[in-house]
Structure 1
C-alpha cells in the first residue's frame, strides 16, 4: 500500500478535529497562557528590586516543594529565572495534559465510539486519523508556546531565553503527544489509553522532581528534565531540543508500527472474556458503577500513594536543606532551630497539593456518569425496574467511597515514605501525616458534588466541571502569588480549610464543607430527576 493510500484524507480529518475542538482548544490556550501571564506579571511586580530578587534563590528556589513542582531552574538570581520557576508547573502540566487528551480523543475514543468506522468507510487511510490528531496537538503546542514567548518578551524578559523557554515547552508537548499516540494503540478503551499516558506523564514528572530535590541523575531520566536542561535564561543548551525531537520521533514511529499490527477498533491488549454469568453485585444499583470504576479507583489510589510516599521521604531532609541558610529562615520569619516549623510549613503545602489532585479524581469519577448516558448503557438500565434515583445514588456512593479510599491511600503513602528514612519516628508526626491528608477530604467531596450539580442541571456543558478544577488549582498554587482577594479565593473549598499542621485543625470548616456537599448533592439529585436522560 502506498504512502498516499495510508495517509489519504488527513487534511479533511485535521479540519474535522479543529471543528470539533473549536471551543476546547481556545479555552485550553486561554487558560494556560492567561494564568502564566498573570503569574509572570505578578512575580515581576513582587520582585522589583535587586534586594528582593536576591532573596528568592536562597529561599523558594532551594525548597523541596519548589523543586518537586518546578524542577531545577537556573538563573534564579535574575527575574527571568524566577518567573520561569514560578510558571513551570502550570505551563508544562497544562501543555502535556492538553496533547494527551487531544490525541486520545481523536484516535482511540473515536474508534471506541464507532465514529472512526464511519469515517473509514470513506477515502481515509489507516494512519490518517492518527496523523491528524498529532498535527492538531502539535499546532496547539506551537500556538501556546508562541504566545507564551510573546508574553515573556512583552514583560521585558530577555528575548533569547524567552524563545528557549517556549521551545522547550513545545518540544515537551510533542514528546507526550507521541506517547499518547502509542498508548492509544495498546488498549481498546479510551480511558485505558488515558490511564497509560497519564501514568507515564505522572511518573516522568515525579522522577524529575525527585531528581531535582536530590540533584541526582534521576533528573535526566525524565523528558521534563531534558526540557528544563535546555537552561532557558542561563547558558542555553539548544542541543537538548534535538534530544526531545528525537524522542518524539521514536514515539511517533512506535505508534505507526503498533497501528499496523492491530485491527481497527481493537487494541494490542485484548480484553479478557467475561464470566458466563454475572455476579450478584451487578444486580445492585451500585454494581455497574463499581465495575466500571474499579480500575479508575485502583489506578488513582496507587498513583497518589506513590506520589505521597515521595513527598513523605523528603520530609526529614527539609531542615538539612536550610542548614547554614539564615536568609531563608529570616525570610520565612523563623529563627535557628526552626526545623519542625519548616517541616510543618512543607506539610501544609503537600497536604493541599494532594487534596487538590484527589479532587481531580472525584471529578473524573463523577463524569463517568455522563459516559454511561453517552454509551446508551443507562437507557438500558432504567428500562428495567431500576429508577434513575437509585442508580444515581448508587453511583454517587461508589464515587464517595472511592474518594475516601484515595485519601486513605495518600495518608498511607505519606507514612510509608516517611518512616523508613526518619531517624527517630515521632508518633505525633505520624498522626499529623495521616490527619493532614484526610483533613482535605471534605473539600474534595464538595468539588465532586459541584461537578455532579453541573452534570445534573447542565448535562450538555458537563465539561465545565473541569473549569471548576482549574479554578481550584489556580487558587491553591497561585492564589497568594496573584494576591487574589479573599472574597474571590473563598470560592475554592480548599480555601476554607486550615493549613494543617501549621494552623490548628478545627471541626467547624470540616462540618460546614460536609454539610455543603450534602446540600449540593441533594440539589443535583433534584436536577437529575427533572431532566431527560441522554
Structure 2
C-alpha cells in the first residue's frame, strides 16, 4: 500500500502556530455582534456629556451664578463625590464640567471597557461558542487580543467624540481633546483590568464583579485623596493610586497635563501582559480560582422554583444591600455640608431642591428619588438574569422538569419584587442614620425611611415593564433603560429645562411624591401597584406563548 503525504503550505503551518492567528476575523465578528452595543456605548457617553454641558449652560446665566457653584464643589464633600476641581478659584463653565461631571462620564467609560472585554472572552467561553471557534485555525490569544482591540477602539472613539463636542461649544481645543482623552483612558485602563479578572473565575458575572469592585475601590481612593487635598491635610497621595485619579490629574482647561495619561497606558499594558500570562496557566473554560464545592445533597427548601430563583438572586441582593447601605450612610452623612454648600447656589439649582424655604425637605426627597432610580437598575438587572438563564440553556433544563413556564417566570419576578422594598428600606436606613448624625435631628430618620420605601410601586412598575419586554421581545429588553434615564432627567432637571407637566408625569417616579417635600399620594401608590401587577401578569401570559431563546 502506497503512503500518501499531504504537504501543507508553509504559510498555513506558520499561521496555525501563531498565538494571535485569526484576530482580524474575530474582531470583525465582534463588531458584527456589537453592531448595536458599540454605537450605543459611544454615543450614549457622548450624549450624556452633551446633556451635562447643555444643562449647565442653561443653569448658569451670569458669572455670579457660576461663582455660587463653588461653595459646595470646592468643599471636602464636593471633592469626595466629584473631584478636587482644578481651577475653581477662577471658575469657567468648561472647568466646572471637567471637574464635576467628567468623573461620572469616566465611570461610565470604565464600565464600557470592562464589560466589553468580559462579554467577548469569559462569557464566550462560558456559553461554549469559544470552544467552537478555537476548533478552527485560531490562536490561543486571538480572542483576548480582538476583545482588547475592540475595547481600545471604543475608548479612542469616545475620546474623539467627547473632545469634538466640547470644541464645538467653543471651549479650548487643547483642553477639550485632553478631557476626551482622559475619559477614554479610564475605559482603556479597566479593559486591561478585565483581562486579568476574566482569568480568575469561570463565571462571567464573577469576572465583571471583580473588575467592578476595582472600579468602586478606584472611586473611593480618589475621593479620599481629593478630600485630603481640599482640606490641606491627610493622605492626598491616595488619588494617585486610582486609575480615575490619573485622568482627573490631567486638569483639562487648567494645567493641561498629558503625562498622567502615560500612567494609564503603562498600567493597561502591564495588566494586559498579566492577563496574557495567566491565560496560559489555566485550562480552557476554567478559572485560576477553582469554584467552591457545593453540598452533595440539596436542602429540602430548595425543591421549588421560588427557592431556585432566590438562590440565583441571593448574591446580587447581598451585594446591592451592602452597596446601598454604604452609599446611604455616605450621602446622608453629608446632609449638613451639602445644605451649607447650596446656600449661595443659583436660583435654578435651588429650585431643583424645592426652593430655599424647603431646601432640607427637597434635598431629602431628592435622595429618595436617587435611590429609587438606583433600585430600578437592580430591577432591570434582575430581569436580565432571566434572559441570561434562557440564553445559556439553564432555563430549558429547569422547564424540562415539572416546573411550568408561568411558575419559572413568576418565581424570578417575585424574588425581585420582594427585593425592591428591602433595598429601598436598607438605603433609607443608611440615609436616615447618616442624615440624623450629620444634622443632629433624629426625626430625619423616619422621614427618610418612609420617603425611600414609598417609591416601591414605581420601581415595581419598571420591573413589570422590563419583564413584559423580556417575555415578548427579549432583544428589545435594553430599551427599558430609557425609562430610568427619562426618570432621571425629569426628576432632577424638569424645573431647569421647563419640561411640561404632561411630559413629566410620563415617568413612573413622578406620581407618589418626593417625601418629605411632597406628601405621599396613597392613590398613586394603589394605582401603580395594581398597574404593576397587571403588567406582570400579562408578561407571564406572554412568556407562555413564545419559544425559548426567541421572541413573539
Q: 1:398 aligns with which of 415, 420, 432?
A: 415
Counterpart residue number, 1:180 = 194
d(CA) in 1 for partners of 2:195, 2:149? 12
Is residue 350–residue 356 contact of structure 2 (8 Å, CA) maintained in 1?
A: no
Cα separation, partners in 2 of 1:203 and 1:353, compared to 1, 3 Å: farther
d(CA) in 2 for partners of 1:486, 1:446? 20
How much does 1:100 deviate? Answer: 1.8
How much does 1:363 deviate? Answer: 0.7
d(CA) in 2 for partners of 1:462, 1:423? 42
d(CA) in 1 for partners of 2:162, 2:124? 31
Counterpart residue number, 1:524 = 539
Relative to structure 2, which stretch is displaced further, 217-226 or 133-142? Answer: 217-226
Counterpart residue number, 1:461 = 476
Counterpart residue number, 1:226 = 246
Q: 1:277 aligns with which of 297, 302, 306?
A: 297
- After the TM superposition, list the runs of 4 or more consecutive aligned residues in structure 1 that deviate by more than 6 angstroms: 329-334
Q: 1:387 aligns with which of 404, 407, 420?
A: 404
Relative to structure 2, which stretch is displaced further, 111-120 or 204-213? Answer: 204-213
Cα separation, partners in 2 of 1:64 and 1:107, compared to 1, 3 Å: same
How much does 1:29 deviate? Answer: 1.9
Is residue 429–residue 445 contact of structure 2 (8 Å, CA) maintained in 1?
A: no
Could you list the runs of 5+ residues in structure 2 that have no partner in the other structure? 1-13
Is residue 457–residue 531 contact of structure 1 (8 Å, CA) maintained in 2?
A: yes
d(CA) in 2 for partners of 1:98, 1:478? 26
How much does 1:178 deviate? Answer: 1.1
Q: 2:52 aligns with which of 35, 39, 43?
A: 39
d(CA) in 2 for partners of 1:123, 1:117? 12
How much does 1:62 deviate? Answer: 4.2
Is residue 65–residue 346 contact of structure 1 (8 Å, CA) maintained in 2?
A: no
Relative to structure 2, which stretch is displaced further, 238-247 or 141-150? Answer: 238-247
Counterpart residue number, 1:250 = 270
Alignment of 1:58-77 (within 5 A): 58=71, 61-62=73-74, 67-76=79-88, 77=91
How much does 1:20 deviate? Answer: 0.8
Relative to structure 2, which stretch is displaced further, 369-378 or 127-136? Answer: 369-378
d(CA) in 1 for partners of 2:291, 2:431? 34
How many residues align? The count is 525
d(CA) in 1 for partners of 2:541, 2:409? 11
Counterpart residue number, 2:143 = 129
Q: 1:317 aligns with which of 308, 328, 337?
A: 337
Is residue 40–residue 86 contact of structure 1 (8 Å, CA) maintained in 2?
A: no
Relative to structure 2, which stretch is displaced further, 472-481 or 249-258? Answer: 472-481
Is residue 71–residue 341 contact of structure 2 (8 Å, CA) maintained in 1?
A: no
d(CA) in 2 for partners of 1:286, 1:145? 45
How much does 1:271 deviate? Answer: 1.3
Cα separation, partners in 2 of 1:389 and 1:211, compared to 1, 3 Å: same
d(CA) in 2 for partners of 1:399, 1:480? 33
d(CA) in 2 for partners of 1:11, 1:205? 35
d(CA) in 1 for partners of 2:155, 2:443? 47
Counterpart residue number, 1:156 = 170
Is residue 348–residue 499 contact of structure 1 (8 Å, CA) maintained in 2?
A: yes
After superposition, the C-alpha distances for 1:435-468 in whole angstroms (9 at most, x for unaligned) are 2322232222221111101101112322333344
Counterpart residue number, 1:100 = 114
Q: 1:110 and 2:124 equivalent?
A: yes
How much does 1:136 deviate? Answer: 0.4
Counterpart residue number, 2:449 = 434
TM-score by length of 2: 0.87
d(CA) in 2 for partners of 1:505, 1:281? 38
Relative to structure 2, which stretch is displaced further, 71-80 or 184-193? Answer: 71-80
Q: 1:238 and 2:263 equivalent?
A: no
d(CA) in 1 for partners of 2:388, 2:274? 30
Counterpart residue number, 1:205 = 219
Relative to structure 2, which stretch is displaced further, 447-456 or 122-131? Answer: 122-131
Counterpart residue number, 1:10 = 23
How much does 1:90 deviate? Answer: 4.9
Q: 2:324 aligns with which of 298, 304, 307?
A: 304
Q: 1:451 aligns with which of 466, 470, 483?
A: 466
Could you list the runs of 5+ residues in structure 1 that have no partner in the other structure? none
TM-score by length of 1: 0.89
Relative to structure 2, which stretch is displaced further, 170-179 or 223-232? Answer: 223-232
After superposition, the C-alpha distances for 1:120-168 in whole angstroms (9 at most, x for unaligned) are 1122222221111111011011111101111110111111110111111
Alignment of 1:447-526 (within 5 A): 447-477=462-492, 479-526=494-541
* Secondary structure, counterpart of 1:6 in structure 2: coil
After superposition, the C-alpha distances for 1:200-253 in whole angstroms (9 at most, x for unaligned) are 223323443455456363544432222112111112232211222222223222
Relative to structure 2, which stretch is displaced further, 480-489 or 245-254? Answer: 480-489
Q: 1:410 aligns with which of 424, 427, 436?
A: 427
Q: 1:260 aligns with which of 265, 276, 280?
A: 280
* Secondary structure, counterpart of 1:286 in structure 2: helix
* Secondary structure, counterpart of 2:305 in structure 1: coil
How much does 1:190 deviate? Answer: 0.8
d(CA) in 1 for partners of 2:425, 2:419? 10
Is residue 331–residue 434 contact of structure 2 (8 Å, CA) maintained in 1?
A: yes
After superposition, the C-alpha distances for 1:51-93 in whole angstroms (9 at most, x for unaligned) are 433333336x347875554333334421212333564255223
Relative to structure 2, which stretch is displaced further, 49-58 or 401-410? Answer: 49-58
